[in-house]
Amino acid sequence: MRIEDTNIKKFIATSDVISLLNMSCGFLSVICSLNSKFELAALLMIFAIMFDSVDGWVARKTNRQDTLGFGKNIDSLSDAISFGLAPAIFVYATINTTTTAIEPIVILVSLLIVICGVLRLTRYNVIADLIKTKDFIGFPIPGIAFILATYYLSGLYNIYIALILSIIVSLIMVSTIIYPKFDNVPILAISVILIFLLILPFKIVLLSVNIPALLLLLFCLYYLIINLIKHYTHHTN
């Protein structure tokens, strides 16, 4: 390859721009967390997930030719920021501004999110062409951002539960538990509607609980737990 062939214009495609939008939302979420704008930080993580969910689809629809793996790398690097760094900073900032007594624990949990996220993404890149499966090995990394964001937006956010969830989800991300790609069309349609309701200027609240956020959180927790149960049920039989 010649130096002239490394012009960035020769590498980047439409799907990569969408990956960069994912990354941008993650970065802006970090900025918002550092400035205690937690609701916006949570929404930005959800926006990042939305961009991440369509970049692969766009690549397929545009017949992206990516023999060098540029798209795969930019997707993973973007995910590391949006679903590794952003939720880690979110956890640290929300809890650190509430109480400083457990700050060392919060730092370690935040670091665990980043470490497991990077390990999860790196493993995926290494085995992607070696293992023929459409399913996820380990809990998909956007899930931790989705759980934390919807948990906070629900109005039920508790710092200790957030820490426990962060530890559990981080460890499951690097496990070998199989998580099938979610293709239940009715549930996906309902989820899209709930996300739309969540980002509207007005809130749908009952007894101080944001209903769309709570339902999205429950959907994700169900996906997390039911496949965990299936895995251990299968291995004990």
pLDDT at residue 139 in the model = 95
| pLDDT score recorded for residue 76 | 92
Query: Angle 159-173/142-153 helices, nearest 10 degrees?
Result: 160
User: Strands, DSSP E only, in the chain?
Assistant: 136-137, 178-179, 205-206, 209-210
- As a whole number of angstroms, the distance between CA 53 and CA 71 comes to 14
Question: pLDDT category, 31, cuts 50, 70, 90?
Answer: very high
Q: Are strands 209-210 and 178-179 parallel, antiparallel or unpaired?
A: unpaired
pLDDT in tens, 124-181: 988 877 887 788 999 999 999 999 999 999 999 999 999 999 999 999 999 999 998 8
Question: Cβ contacts of residue 119 below 8 Å, gap of 6+?
Answer: 173, 174
Q: Which amino acid is at 26?
A: G
pLDDT at 65: 77
Q: Please return the burial class of 233, using the count of CB atoms within 10 Å of its CB with bins 0-12, 13-18 and 19+.
A: exposed
Q: What's the confidence (pLDDT) of residue 184? A: 67
pLDDT tens-place string over residues 99-124: 667 888 999 999 999 999 999 999 99
User: Hey, is 178 helix, strand or coil?
Assistant: strand
Token pair in block for residue 32: 């918002």
Residue 221 — very low, low, confident or very high, per pLDDT cuts 50/70/90? very high
For the cut 90, the answer to whether the pLDDT of residue 56 exceeds it is no
Q: How far apart are CA 164 and CA 174, in angstroms?
A: 16
pTM over 0.85: yes
